Amino acid sequence: MAAQNLSDDSDESLMLSYAQGKAAAFDALYARHRVGVYRYVLRHCGNAPVADEVFQDVWTNLVRTRATYAPTSRFSAWLYTLAHNRLVDHWRATGQVDMVSIDGDDAANDAVGALPAARADEPDERAANRNIAAHLHAALAKVPPLQRDAFLLQQESGLSLLEIATLTGVGVETVKSRLRYAVAKLRSELGALRELAHR
Amino acid sequence: MNDDRDLHDTALDALLRTHSAETPPPAVDAAVLAAAHRAIDGEMRARPARATQPWRWWMPLAAAAAIGVVVIGILPMAPTLVEPTPPATSDAPTTATAPPPAGTQPIEAARPDTQGTPMARVPVPSTTDRMSAKRDAAPTRERAESATKAGSTPSRPYYQMYRYVPPEPPAAEQDRRANATGAVAAMPQAAPAPQAIRPQQEAAARAPATQVPQEANAQPPRQGSAAALTQPARSPEVLPRTDAMSLEDRQKVAAAQPRTVDEWFALIRKLRSENRVPDAIRALADFRAAFSDADARLPEDLRDWAKTVP
């Protein structure tokens, strides 16, 4: 009965309950967001052990800062902000931060136009199914971190453009530019896979 | 429209959803959940730990409140310090030659207040005073003996400690009293109203009945209202005080004392016939104090005897 009530509660009320000492509320929150956060972290890191560590740090930070949580915005925005900040720390620690960002639409269009054409190799369906995850990770790894971050936030967290902009500390147009560039890059990298997905 | 196509790629979204099977390892799940529960448990454990801390901010306030309660509750029960007063008057026969102790002033039964009403000014002891007096009353003799041995003034009952000491009368009055009273004047006066209130009483007798003073109304007159007003007002508080007399005894004595001239005469005759000369002398003194023309009112049989009494 209590679990049923918790599953009906919103993320924000669950987080407030947990901050007030209700441990079961955290279980419900974790069950809702563990997969999205993990994929967001894993696709950024590309390395499962590192992703596990970062993922655990994200939730540890949430536990530690539970008393400061205020439901001024969606809980998922706050949660992915914690994840984003932890990833930034990770990038700084590993020297992976590429501060070059293509923010202007024209520049983004130029960059997309300069991408190479889709590869002509067409793996058979079985091989594609077997290696598709590896291709996805490889394609995402080729996207610059900031564009990839915007793309993954859109894919995994379900945040709006404005929320992503707030989370990353840039304007909405910048977020759009990053998304446009990331989608174009992935299209070019995953051209064949996209065809498989269409079938 | 173009923006949406550029920002979203449905094929790409489907590809990611279809082939995304990554989930956190069970060990990581367990570690995260354990950390979350551990934090809550630690917080719950810290709360009762804080509650059992030996020092609290309210402890000084509680101590102050306890001290206040004790002081408020105990202080009224403590004996009140009273200035030693001279021995009280007594109905017991005293030697005529014994002078009053130094500084002793006879108790004035009543004195006119601002409204001309004879009022008994002897304060009635409060409950606290009675309590302390009750404590003092039992071992009075022992205390007196020990105090006498120590050369100090023995303690007295409360009704002696709270005697009203009127202000000094005018010099003319003192001279008149010194001349009028000899050995009798040395005796403690009982209770009748002083001469000083006579004019006010007479004025009150001339006044309408509605202006009768409250204390006169408090004790209904036994005779006519005008005659009653000429009588000195009496109350239990102004009665003669002795060491052994209680308030009820003094009330009885007050009821037995004469209020009219004839009653005074009857009392004096009775005392003389019973050979209670000192009492008769005191009654004559009281009669003189109550009536300014007392000697003129005396009958023949008492007038001769009264001439022998200064």
Q: In angstroms, rounded to a whole number, what is the distance separating the alpha carbons of residues B204 and B212?
A: 6
Q: Contact at 8 Å (CB) between A152 and A40?
A: yes
| Selection from B259, B242, B235, B239 nearest residue B250 by Cα | B239
Compare all CA atoms of chain B with the CA of A34 and give the residue at the minimum distance: B24
| Selection from A33, A34, A50, A31 nearest residue A42 by Cα | A50
| Contact assignment for A38 to B37 by CB distance below 8 Å | no
The pLDDT value given to residue B151: 47
Query: Between A34, A42, A180, which is nearest B6 by CB?
Result: A180
3-state DSSP percent of chain B in helix, strand and coil, to 5: 55, 0, 40
Average pLDDT for B192-211: 47
Size of interface A-B (CB pairs under 8 A): 99
Query: Between B3, B15, B36, which is nearest A26 by CB?
Result: B36
| Selection from A79, A29, A31, A28 nearest residue A57 by Cα | A79
Whether B105 has a pLDDT exceeding 80, the answer reads no
pTM of structure: 0.44
ipTM of the complex: 0.76
Contact residues on chain A for B11, CB-CB shorter than 8 A: 194-195, 197-198
Query: What does the pLDDT look like over B257-294, one tens digit per residue?
Result: 667 888 888 888 888 888 888 888 888 888 888 888 88
The pLDDT value given to residue A165: 92
The pLDDT value given to residue B67: 93
pLDDT bin (cut points 50, 70, 90) of residue B86 is low
pLDDT bin (cut points 50, 70, 90) of residue B246 is low
Sign of the alpha-carbon dihedral angle for B151, B152, B153, B156: negative
Compare all CA atoms of chain B with the CA of A188 and give the residue at the minimum distance: B12
pLDDT tens track, chain A, 199 positions: 444 567 778 888 899 999 888 888 999 999 999 999 998 998 888 788 899 999 999 999 999 988 888 888 888 899 999 999 998 888 888 876 554 444 444 444 444 444 443 443 444 555 555 567 777 788 888 888 888 888 888 888 888 899 999 988 899 999 999 999 998 888 888 776 666 655 5
The pLDDT value given to residue A115: 40
CB-count burial class (<10 Å; 0-12, 13-18, 19+) for A116: exposed
Q: In angstroms, rounded to a whole number, what is the distance separating the alpha carbons of residues A141 and A51?
A: 14
A36 vs B148, higher pLDDT: A36
What lies within 8 Å, CB to CB, of A77 at 6+ separation is: A157, A159, A163, A166, A167
Q: In angstroms, rounded to a whole number, what is the distance separating the alpha carbons of residues B56 and A190?
A: 67
Residue that is written with structure tokens 């190479």 in the block: A116
Query: Between B8, B19, B39, which is nearest A133 by CB?
Result: B19
Contact residues on chain B for A14, CB-CB shorter than 8 A: none
Average pLDDT for B28-40: 90
pLDDT bin (cut points 50, 70, 90) of residue B23 is confident
Query: What does the pLDDT look like over B50-68, one tens digit per residue?
Result: 555 667 788 889 999 999 9
Distance from CA of B50 to the nearest CA of A (A): 16
Q: In angstroms, rounded to a whole number, what is the distance separating the alpha carbons of residues B271 and B204?
A: 33
Percent of chain B scoring above 90 in pLDDT: 7
Q: Contact at 8 Å (CB) between B209 and B224?
A: no
| Contact assignment for A55 to B13 by CB distance below 8 Å | no
Q: In angstroms, rounded to a whole number, what is the distance separating the alpha carbons of residues B110 and B234?
A: 9
